[in-house]
Chain A
Amino acid sequence: MNQYQLFKLLKRVGLWALIAVVMVYAIFPFYYAVITSLKPSSELFRVDFWLSSLDFSNYVQILSQKSFIQAIGNSILVAVSVVFIALLLGITASYSLGRVRFRGRTTVLLVILGVSMFPQVAVLSGLFEVIRALDLYNNPGGLILSYTIFTLPFTVWVLTTFMRQLPMELEEAAIMDGATPWVTLTRVFLPLMWPAMATTGLLAFIAAWNEFLFALTFTLTDSQRTVPVAIALISGGSQHELPWGPIMAASVTVTVPLVILVMIFQRRIVSGLTAGAVKG
């Protein structure tokens, strides 16, 4: 009996030790960034595990830079527009793919899957030409256009998964009442799809907010950049003296809203991610 109790205790201790390790591993880097951002530059190079005082000078410095504020504005503009476009095009497409059986549906689904998987670099030069032809180079419009390449297939896929789960009786009733497919979609399915659209939209927003390669390649001037590029390009006097305080302040500034969003919509995000992945 004693042995059994000891075993149980050990198991309990082991479990909590593992939880502690996982928690520290997951949280510590971000926590350390927050601490660094709240230190005056004189104390920056001393390793501390907690703060003795609060100093907001890094935040003042980064938020008084016009280009950083512009970058935040650009990022919001781009991400919101991309989400809007992806949902608009995605909801109609997902109705077709999720509710109607027609020849070529599997092909369309495979094409979408293929697009969502192929590497961004593979279209870089072709897309560059398209963007320049449309006069969207160094313009948020070019980013909005190019970001649909990864948000749209993903949105269509996840919305199709959700669309398929809705009961068939709803649609049958609508058809019996003589509703056209457009009315069925907008009046019957749309109200039921809001939760799924919120989830998908949130995931697309995060993807667009974080994108780097296109943003780096298709913009040129400080005023047109998005946040990830702005942060990546913050530089000091030389390569070896990067201004770590302001970099961490900028990082925390753009990450905190995301982390809060993720915490609030935790359940939805998990369901969206798994719905997107039950592809196969």
Chain B
Amino acid sequence: MTKSAMTGPTNQSAPDKVRSPEKGYRGTKVRRQRVRAAWLFLIPMLVTLVLVAGWPLVRTFYFSFTDASLSDTAGATFIGIENYLVYDDGNWYGILTDPTWWIAVWNTLFFSVVSVSLEVVFGIIVALLLNAEFKGRILVRAAVLIPWAIPTIVSAKIWAWMLNDQFGIINHLLLALGVIDSPLAWTADADLSMWAVIMVDVWKATPFVALLMLAALQMLPKDCFEAAEVDGIHPLKVFFRVTLPLITPALLVAVIFRLLDALRVFDVIYVLTSNSTSTMTMSIYARQQLVEFQDVGYGSAASTLLFLIIALVTIVYLYLGRRQLGVDQ
């Protein structure tokens, strides 16, 4: 339907032109007026985007090749790629030689892959549940929306409280159930803190994936499922052979959204574990350099690398999923 609305006007104006030259002339005049108006309507938005996105991005790229500091961005001098890599006095320096940066890169990728995978699995389960028919379905859907509606900072604080090592309810429950012998330091322990962060992110983002999947499920034709049921095919087989392939395009869209969000993760981690190295992501690293260490040049280099890594992931993803996502058309 969307497509027909888009192509409609041209399909109709073309025969007009053939039929009467006069009408065709009016058609192009109207068309020209419309195109001019379209650009006029777009200009305020484009100017705003250039001001808040385009120009700052260019400046960040530029800063990454300077020694700018937070107090004096104007007086920055060009230093080439020294923020990235420099050989001085027998040693290599720069962000590409900083082990903390590579830890941040690894942490970001680990966090993104694990949390998005879990969100997809849980999201599909919740979507299948909401797609089933039972009384109070609307109520359950409303409940599922709650984690999505809660601000990230608030959910991080709530989970920080639940995961509190001494008084947290999670440790209390695990102790009562006999799963653990002594309380776990969820946010302080280097081995556990990443999982704590993933736990919070999964809780918060699963509703989003579930809603997108639910929308996809509701558009599927009912008859093939009825046919499968009549034929007595096992529900799991129906899911993997029929449902999953049919919702894959929507799933890939949901995944790219979540992946881009996860790769730039900042707030959950800032609140839960602040600058601890075991959960430091690229965003946390870049902001720490920029704001806390006031080193705009170095921080901008980190930001630029983050931007390039995310762009690379997006391009690879779109390339691999091009057929399913319909990019080819």
Residues of A within 8 A of B (CB): 15-16, 18-19, 22-23, 25-27, 29-30, 32-33, 36, 44-45, 47, 85, 89-90, 92-93, 95-97, 100-102, 108, 111-112, 115, 117-130, 132, 145-146, 148-149, 152-153, 156, 161, 164-168, 175, 180-182, 185, 206, 209-210, 212-213, 216-217, 227-229, 231-232, 244, 247-248, 251, 254-255, 258-259, 261-263, 266, 269-270, 273-274, 277-280
Q: From A103, which residue of chain B is reached at the shortest CB distance? A: B35
B227 at the interface (CB under 8 A from A): no
Binding site for A on B (CB under 8 A): 1-2, 5-6, 8-10, 30, 33-35, 37-39, 41-42, 44-46, 48-49, 51-53, 55-60, 63, 68, 70, 73, 125-126, 129, 132, 134, 138, 140-155, 157-159, 161-162, 164, 166-167, 169, 172, 203, 207-208, 211-212, 214-215, 249-250, 253-254, 257, 260, 263-264, 266-267, 270-271, 282-283, 286-287, 290-291, 296, 299-300, 303-304, 306-307, 310-311, 314, 325-327
Which residue from chain B places its CB closest to the CB of A24 in the assembled complex?
A: B143
In whole angstroms, how far apart are the Cα atoms of A266 and B142 in the complex? Answer: 7
Q: What's the least CB distance linking A14 to chain B, in Å?
A: 11
Show 15 A/B contacts (Cβ-Cβ < 8 Å), sorted by A.
A19-B134, A26-B144, A89-B44, A96-B39, A100-B35, A121-B282, A121-B303, A123-B303, A125-B68, A180-B33, A181-B33, A210-B153, A231-B153, A266-B145, A278-B253
Task: Please tell me if the beta carbons of A255 and B34 are within 8 angstroms of each other in the complex.
Answer: no
B282 neighbours in A (Cβ, 8 Å): 121
Q: A32-B158, A145-B52, A168-B8 are in contact. List 9 more A-B contacts (CB 8 A).
A: A44-B167, A45-B167, A100-B35, A119-B306, A125-B299, A129-B56, A130-B56, A263-B142, A280-B326
- Chain B positions within 8 Å of A274 at CB level: 211-212, 215
Secondary structure at the B interface, as helix, strand, loop or mixed, is helix
Min Cβ gap A175→B in Å is 6
Q: How far is the CB of B51 from chain A (nearest CB, A)?
A: 7
Contact of B49 with A232 in the complex, beta carbons under 8 Å: no
Given that A124-B287, A164-B5 are contacting pairs, would A36 and B303 also be in contact in the complex, using a CB cutoff of 8 Å?
A: no
C-alpha gap A57/B211 in the complex (Å): 38
Q: A123-B57, A232-B270, A273-B208 are in contact. Are A29 and B145 (CB under 8 A)?
A: no
Is A125 in contact with B55, judged by CB distance below 8 angstroms? no
Residues of B within 8 A of A129 (CB): 56, 59, 73
A126 touching B60 in the complex, CB below 8 Å, given contacts A26-B147, A92-B41, A279-B253: yes
Provide the residues of chain A in CB contact with B254, threshold 8 Å: 277
B287 adjacent to A36 (CB under 8 Å)? no
Q: Contact between B49 and A212 (Cβ–Cβ < 8 Å)?
A: no
A130/B52 contact (C-beta < 8 A), A36-B161, A100-B38 known? yes
